[in-house]
Structure 1
Amino acid sequence: MAEKILRNINSPADLRKLNKTELKQLAQELRRFIIDIVATKEGHLGASLGVVELTIALHYIFNTPDDLLVWDVGHQAYGHKILTGRKDIFDTNRQLGGISGFPKRSESEYDAFGTGHSSTSVSAALGMAMASNLKGETDKQHIAVIGDASIASGMAFEGLNHAGMTKANLLVILNDNAIGIDPSVGALKEYLTKARVGYKPASYNIIEALNFKYFGPVDGHDLDGLLKVLEKMKQINGPKFLHVITRKGKGLKKAEEDQVKYHAPGKFEPATGELLKYDTDGLPLKYQDVFGFTLVELASSNEKIIGITPAMPTGSSLKYMMEAFPERAFDVGIAEQHAVTLSAGMATQGFVVYCAIYSTFLQRAYDQLIHDVALQNLPVIFCLDRAGLVGEDGATHHGVFDIAYSRAIPNLMIAAPRNEVELRNLLYTVQLGLENPIIIRYPRGRGVLKEWKLPFEKIKIGKGECLKQGSEIAVLSIGNMAGNVSEAIAQMSEKEKLAHYDMRFVKPLDEVLLKNIFKKYKKIVTVEDGVKKSGFGSAVLEYAAEAGFKGEIYILGIPDKFIDQGSVVQLQEIAGIHVEGIRQKLESMI
């Protein structure tokens, strides 16, 4: 489709010059533009396709950027980015040096708030609205667009609860497509499903009970209807709520039919939506699948095993246990705090609970990790997927803080397997009887071994392993960084001078092994894919000070800054923890 209208749209001001017939044509062009770019560059597809008409209507009716628009989650914001001056660089989306895949304040004045995690929009937009009241800007509009999975989170309800008791000029728009990354779950989802067909389960609805003026449900693909209702709501002061029904993946048949897969489908044929086929035969399995398949294997012989995940059954591969043992595996929705404390509650009753959660999302439940799990010393097993640099999702999603933020918590152990066999054996070991909670962290993507399903072996808690002897320098790695270190050493001419230890555990540290290392080597290098501040290297430094080590210790890890998007290899190079960066550091020390 020739972009007759979209090519002339460089800002919402251009958009507002169009008539309604042209707006409908623009919707078709915008949808096709998103499909064509994402087909080759990859990214989050389905959510943005579902809100094309809503995006156009919002920028047409409201005076953005003076009126403030917050997208929750940013998966929906591709059309918004294209219409707000980023059309010509949209093909750099999620790439190194390009635009972010999520709204980002430093990127555009139209991005009122950064939203990489969910359920923050109501609180943020309410804060903006209350600030506008304090400044006397009574005509300013504040809009939060939130998905039906995001609104089920506790934080969203905290915001709604507060907003209903204010005079804030706040419009909350519920983008209801019955799916987040996976299908939405919970009683609220059932309530919204009934609301779709006009059924009132009580004499009032839940939103009106929170003192919002409720409108809807309305068809999110009826552009004329959206324009009318938004114009009407623009004239109403105070908190109001618009329930919009959309279809995720709208406009691409394959994306509508398989909304889970086409949330972020990878590369595909833009005309048909057919996924491009890659030959994965013989390639190592993804770490998440090693976790998922191993958990099913363990659960088949241990009826005490429970699996819990907050809204990521596909992303964490807990889906395999949900299929095999549906009575013992639970998706609790976007509710990380609830997931952690639910796990704690089940652990009090003698169950072996594996809480599968992305590293970046465990940050959202830090108090529960401390107060509900570690303080009570409940042996919950946290399986932290996407630990380390995750690539194109960027700063909001990198799992680089978990070692630092969890190392300070008493009772909590931290392990990081270097490969799939180690992961498998750790998962096996912790269900044999655990006295403390533990974090097992592993990276996004494929592993390094083709043969991973070996007989289980028990791992000694808190014990590291020497992978290579050497004469001058000891390199201590944690987790999958062992691979980069081994490859770097293999490329060196004086490799016999380098020893390599896989420490396996950040906490408890293998102090016996460290004492032996301190006696033998005067130069030590630690390598991690987490932040250097308070991380694994810091733990080694702390113990070295206690032990009176007089040699040199160098820490390689993520520097004290937020790392933007790019491929994992590119980002490791920026941090200096890629193979060549490690090799150069070691060469300089010999």
Structure 2
Amino acid sequence: MGQSKTPLLDQVRVPADLRRLPPSQLRQLAEELRQETIDAVSVTGGHLGAGLGVVELTVAIHYVFNTPADRLIWDVGHQCYPHKIITGRRDRIRTLRMGGGLSGFTKRAESEYDPFGAAHSSTSISAGLGMAVARDKAGARNNVIAVIGDGALSAGMAYEAMNNAGALASRLVVILNDNDMSIAPPVGALSAYLSRLISSKSYRGLRDIGRQVAEHLPRPLLNAARRAEEYARGMVTGGTLFEELGFYYVGPIDGHNLDHLVPILENVRDDPHGGPVLIHCVTQKGKGYAPAEASADKLHAVTKFDVITGTQAKPKANAPSYTRVFAESLVKEAQKDERVLAVTAAMPSGTGLDLFEKAFPDRMYDVAIAEQHAVTFAAGLAAEGYKPFCAIYSTFLQRAYDQVVHDVCIQNLPVRFAIDRAGLVGSDGATHAGAFDVAYLGCLPNMVLMAAADEAELVHMVATCAAYDAGPIAVRYPRGEGVGVDMPEQGVPLEIGKGRVLRQGSKIAILSLGTRLAEAMKAAEDLAARGLSTTVADARFAKPLDEDLVRRLVADHEVLITIEEGSIGGFGSFVLHFLAHEGLLDHGCKVRPMVLPDQFQDHDSPYKQYEEAGLNARHIVATALKALGIDTAGSATARA
């Protein structure tokens, strides 16, 4: 057997093992950890660049602080793979984002070293402050450390938390992982020396004595002295903003230099003075892996790849992705109408709007990680006669719900919502699964809500959004590729609130909202083969509901099945409410709604997730047969 490529890392199963190493070996350990991260992600795919940027920081934090008693919170969590490797999960690291394997984010249920689950950005300081206050109330002494990126610091929630932390003055360590160089000047030896000096006990002690002396000065002199000291440090190190929020600022420091990181973290750990501290680390996303360093997005999210070349294994797509279809359709609408604008919250490539930006750079607005602002900003544009398309993932739009209700719907402003990642999302799991948008938008007065059944329908729905000026309108569509239908040259606006019948039958009716339509068609074939004549209809609109279509389906069939890629309280509930209200449930047709289960589903392949959810063709068949009282034991289980 050959010699191990990671001899030091092999000795580190948990951080306690790491803390037994001499400081001189930490650099080698970091290098081995970087190689293991690259190798693992080459097998599984996932987020790579962010993790490579925090390898040294991960090692330094676990070396200096007593995790898990000291709480370590990673903001978002897509940079946590190195953390997972050295916290007892190395033996499972090649199961990342796979069914039954490790989550791609931090997860409380997975490890005691993950004190707070994440996946959406800018929550770490709030959660950390909550833990710090809980610690103070319990009379404990452990540290709380939140690591947040400069991108995540573009969200208002981070500043709300810092403002509150400054006021409460609880001991909290925030590490700003700045990999954009957007804030920091070049980091050199002088900066490192000054950071080490101002984080030291002796400096903090002198500062404390100075403060005590200054307390006896008249208030104007006291305030002047305090500001002079803060601004003197701010001019040298750039931390005045954080000082104003009540944080003691240290930095900027080189986040890849363990000789700088370790002593500064030790100074902060041993500080007797308390209060919130912000350590500003400058790092390089993708650090130490040439293909990542050379890539524009630093290989932020990757499929499986070749470690030597960095070439990613891209499966051949049979159809364009819904995201791309949306973006190309929006470009066509924008060519016809100069009032069409695009708004996104730090996800230009994720929503496809990077394509729109190439075509219309002056009509695209990336507002950073600020979904609440994005929605109200779009409302302001709409109020002035423009046609803003607000492209936000389903689960990210949840963060702006009040703004959708208050600033858009109450004022009936024609903001267009393009809701990507609707339905289950595979390897990103529960945190990114768009299960709730039909329920949370469909209950709002003035909202028009569509779901695309395939990529051609999405083209027409983008055109419908562009043409509709009477109020807010939304279209939801899933992650991944379309189904391979013929694509229209141009989108044609749909009649609002009208569905379509794709297959006419007489006994069973399947009314689908969204991309379960293909499974509904398969189920109809199966049922027809059993001698059960089946109608398949595409609702197109969850709101307003096509009441004439629903009325016809109930009147002409023994069974009506509704199916959607959403939670309870959505489309099926709207249909049932209408039927009950109209007295159409009083006799005759049996109605069976099919929705996502009332649970947060773990990551897996999309097909397996829908299999687990009971929303594939065989489940539709079984639902129909059961409603008709036909024994399914033979047929349904044989097809499993």
TM norm structure 1: 0.95
What is the rounded CA distance, in whole Å, between the counterparts of 1:560 and 1:521 in structure 2? 28
Which one of 491, 494, 508 corresponds to residue 473 of structure 1? 508
Partner residue of 2:550?
Answer: 514
Contact 1:72 1:121 in 2 (8 A): yes
Is the contact between residue 131 and residue 144 of structure 2 (CA under 8 Å) also seen in structure 1? yes
- Deviation of residue 278 (structure 1)? 4.0
Q: 2:136 aligns with which of 133, 136, 145?
A: 133
CA–CA separation in structure 1 for the residues paired with 2:469 and 2:380 = 16
Paired with 1:391 and 1:314, the residues of 2 have a C-alpha distance of 19
Comparing 547-556 and 463-472, the one that deviates more: 547-556
Give the distance between the partners of 1:406 and 1:456, measured in 2 at CA.
24
1:215 match = 250
Letter aligned with residue 383 of structure 1: A
Gaps of 5+ in 2: 192-233, 629-640
Give 1:164's aligned residue: 166
Cα offset, 1:204, TM superposition = 6.3
**Structure 1's 195 and 364: CA in aligned 2 closer, same or farther, altered over 3 A?**
farther
- 1:466 partner SS: strand
Asked if the contact 2:497–2:541 (Cα under 8 Å) also holds between the matched residues in 1, the reply is: yes
Alpha-carbon offset, residue 436 of structure 1: 1.5
* Cα deviation 1:334-378 (Å, max 9, x = unaligned): 000000000000000000110000001000001001000001000
Q: CA deviation at 1:409?
A: 1.0
Tell me the distance in 2 between the aligned counterparts of 1:246 and 1:98.
29
Q: Which amino acid aligns with 1:149?
A: G
- Equivalent in the alignment of 2:305: 268
Q: Which residue of 1 aligns with 2:24?
A: 21
Which residue of the other structure, out of 414, 417, 439, is the alignment partner of 1:379? 414
The secondary structure found in structure 1 opposite 2:401 is: helix
Query: Following the alignment from structure 1 to structure 2, what is the Cα–Cα distance between the partners of residues 539 and 352?
Result: 28
Q: Distance in 2 between matches of 1:63 and 1:4?
A: 23
Query: What do the CA deviations read for 1:389-429 (whole angstroms, capped 9, x no partner)?
Result: 01100111100111111111111111001111111111112
Alpha-carbon separation, structure 2, partners of 1:356 and 1:196? 37
The letter for the 2-side match of 1:174 is: L
1:409 to 437, 444, 447: 444
Contact map agreement 2:184 2:238 (CA 8 A) in 1: no
Does 2:580 match 1:578?
no
> Contact between 2:454 and 2:482, CA under 8 Å: does it hold in 1?
yes
Which residue of structure 1 aligns with residue 152 of structure 2? 150
- Which of residues 244, 248, 258 in structure 1 aligns to 2:285? 248
| 1:569 has 2:616 as partner | no
2:93 paired with 1:71 = no
Q: Using a 3 Å threshold, how does the CA distance of structure 1 residues 136 and 259 change in structure 2: closer, same or farther?
A: farther
CA distance in 2, matches of 1:444, 1:254: 26
Structure 1 pair 223–9 and aligned structure 2 pair: CA distance change class (3 A) = same
- Aligned partner of 2:435: which letter? V
- Name 2:424's counterpart in structure 1: 389
Q: Decide which structure has the larger Cα Rg and report it.
A: 2
CA-CA distance at 1:265 after TM superposition = 1.5
1: CA distance, partners of 2:74 / 2:251: 19
1: CA distance, partners of 2:514 / 2:451: 4
Contact 1:42/1:264 (CA < 8 Å) preserved in 2? yes
**Distance in 2 separating the partners of 1:11 and 1:57:** 14
Offset, 1:587: 3.7
1:258 aligns with 2:258: no
Spell out the pairing of 1:27-106 with structure 2 (5 A cutoff): 27-106=30-109
Structure-2 change in CA distance of 1:288 and 1:28 (3 Å): same
Q: Contact 2:559 / 2:624 at 8 angstroms: preserved in 1?
A: no
Partner of 1:114: 117
Q: 1:495 to 1:358 in 2, by over 3 A?
A: farther
Q: Is the 8 A contact 2:510 2:561 kept in 1?
A: yes
My pick for the range that moved more, 508-517 or 302-311, is 508-517
- 1:427 is the counterpart of 2:462: yes
Judging changes above 3 Å, is the alpha-carbon distance between structure 1 residues 195 and 366 closer, same or farther for their aligned structure 2 residues?
farther
Q: Is the 8 A contact 2:49 2:298 kept in 1?
A: no
1:123 is aligned to 126
Deviation of 1:202 after TM superposition, in Å, equals 11
Alpha carbons of structure 1 residues 342 and 195: separation in structure 2 relative to 1, 3 Å: farther
Is structure 2 residue 486 aligned with structure 1 residue 486?
A: no
Q: For this pair of structures, how many residues does the alignment match?
A: 575
- The aligned residue for residue 225 of structure 2 is none
Distance 2:444 2:409 in 1: 7
What residue number does 2:344 align with? 309
Deviation at 1:579, TM superposition (A): 2.5
Of the structure 1 ranges 166-175 and 252-261, higher mean CA displacement relative to structure 2 is found in 252-261
- Equivalent residue, structure 2, for 1:326: 361
Q: Answer yes or no: is the 8 Å Cα contact 2:333–2:463 preserved in 1.
A: yes
Instruction: Give the distance between the partners of 2:377 and 2:445, measured in 1 at CA.
Output: 20
What SS does the aligned partner of 1:341 have? helix
Task: Describe the shift of the 1:489–1:433 C-alpha distance in structure 2 as closer, same or farther (beyond 3 A).
Answer: closer
Greater alpha carbon shift after TM alignment, 514-523 vs 364-373? 514-523
Deviates more, 1:263-272 or 1:460-469: 263-272
C-alpha spacing 1:77/1:488, structure 2 compared with 1 (3 Å): same
What's the CA shift for 1:449? 2.3
After superposing the two structures, state which structure 1 stretch, 57-66 or 551-560, moved more.
551-560
Distance 1:239 1:509 in 2: 53
Return the letter of the residue paired with 2:607.
Answer: V
Residue number in structure 1 paired with 2:197: none
Give the Cα–Cα distance (whole angstroms) in 2 for the partners of residues 51 and 256 of structure 1. 14
2:292 alignment partner AA: A
1:500-559 deviations in Å (ceiling 9; x for gaps): 11000001000111111121123111111111x201111111111012123321111211
2: CA distance between counterparts of 1:306 and 1:217? 38
Structure 1 runs not aligned, ≥5 long: 179-188
One-letter amino acid of the counterpart of residue 274, structure 1: T
Contact 1:46 1:259 in 2 (8 A): no
C-alpha distance in 2 between matches for 1:261 and 1:490: 47
Secondary structure class of the residue paired with 1:267: coil
Aligned counterparts of 1:413 and 1:455: Cα–Cα separation in 2: 22
Match of 2:633 in 1: none
SS of residue paired to 1:354: strand
> Is this contact kept in 1: 2:184–2:252, CA < 8 A?
no
TM-score, length basis structure 2: 0.87
